[in-house]
Amino acid sequence: MAQGHGPLYGLQTPTLAKGGVDLNVAGMSLGTETETSYMLRYLFSYGITEDLQINLTTPTMIERLGDAPRTRGNSNMTANGDIEASLWYRFFSNAFGVGKRFESTAIVGVSAPTDDVRGQVNVGNSVHAAISTGYASRTWYGWIGGGYQYYFEKDGEQLGDLPYASAVVGYRPNIFMGDYPKPDWRIFIESLAEFPGDNKFEGQMDFTDSRSTKVLVGPSFLGLYGAWGISFGAMFPVVQDLTLGAVKERYRLAINLSYWL
């Protein structure tokens, strides 16, 4: 029953079955050198067809960052206080063996902020587009992808854009290949590279430095039991080549509870 499952942070390709419904509640935390944020996020997904899926995600902010880094957080939930609607289209799928397939999925979305200022910059609406491709089987998984988020100007100020890329490798041990009611677990090693651009004031760049670079790596785990799923994991920065004034991250944590109707 648990279609559409995948990694916690990186871009993936699986979509829900036609008429499938997935309800998610996630807890997220992001820590920087000076602050820590806490957020609950809710995600509703519906399979229009087996290759076309619509999503809506909304946040409950418990503690915001005063100087929040621009990041997606994961493939279908933003890490900042945005309400976002997105559409996933799996435009290629080649099942060449039992439980084995290559596939590719495109993502487009629009979002509206729940805060007025982010990192001392007026925050406007944004659009997001991404594409991912990869391999899935009963034992091994692998996805690579990239995306781009663009923020619109608000009152003469504009958040910098966010190009990013992700790569994920997953493994399902043989011990978890039994049928329900046996539990089913997978482990993923996820990596995320982000290149947040400079903010603009009255059309002028805030800094003259080149684009920041940030690379994070970490493990995540996915457990399935009938119609229920739980995933949790962490990411830690291994590269942080930031522009002047940017705040360094220390970690990202997330736990996600899913129910497939």
Residue 72, classed as helix, strand or coil, is: coil
Quote the domain boundaries for residue 46. Answer: 20-260
Distance, CA of 31 to CA of 152 (rounded, Å): 26
Q: How far apart are the first and last CA of the chain?
A: 8
Question: Does residue 203 belong to any structural domain of this protein?
Answer: yes
227: three-class secondary structure by DSSP: coil
Contact 51, 93 (CB under 8 A): yes
Tell me, yes or no, whether 13 lies in a domain. no
What's the whole-model pTM score?
0.91
Which is more confidently placed, 117 or 4?
Answer: 117
Task: Give the pLDDT band (50/70/90) at residue 210.
Answer: low
DSSP structure class, residue 71: -
Does residue 251 register a pLDDT over 50?
A: yes
Asked whether the CA dihedral 159, 9, 134, 45 is positive or negative, the reply is negative
Whether residue 6 lies inside any domain: the answer is no
Q: Is 204 exposed, middle or buried (0-12, 13-18, 19+ CB in 10 A)?
A: exposed
What residues contact residue 72 under an 8 Å CB cut-off, 6+ apart?
78, 79, 128, 147, 149, 162, 164, 194
| 116 vs 208: CA distance, rounded Å | 25
**Identity of residue 181:** P
How many domains is the chain built from?
1
Question: What CATH number is given to the structural domain containing 97?
Answer: 2.40.160.40
pLDDT in tens, 109-134: 999 999 898 878 899 999 999 999 99
pLDDT the model gives residue 205: 62
List the one residue out of 51, 72, 18 whose CA is nearest residue 216: 72
φ and ψ of 104, to 5 deg? -140, 140
217: helix, strand or coil: strand
For 67-104, what is each residue's pLDDT tens digit?
778 888 776 777 788 999 999 999 999 988 777 899 99
Polymer length in residues for the chain: 261
Q: What is the spatial distance between Cα 7 and Cα 255, in angstroms, rounded to a whole number?
A: 11
Q: Confirm whether 3 is domain-assigned.
A: no
Q: Binning pLDDT at 50, 70 and 90, where does residue 41 land?
A: very high
pLDDT per residue as tens digits for the range 57-69: 999 999 988 877 8
Please report the pLDDT score of residue 209 as a whole number. Answer: 52
Confidence of residue 149 (pLDDT cuts 50, 70, 90): very high
Q: Is residue 4 part of a domain?
A: no
Mean of the per-residue pLDDT values of the chain: 89
Q: Tell whether 122 is covered by a domain.
A: yes
| pLDDT score recorded for residue 3 | 53
Name the maximum alpha-carbon separation found in the chain.
60
* Confidence band of 2 (pLDDT split at 50, 70, 90): very low
In a domain, 1, yes or no: no
Residue 107 lies in a domain: yes
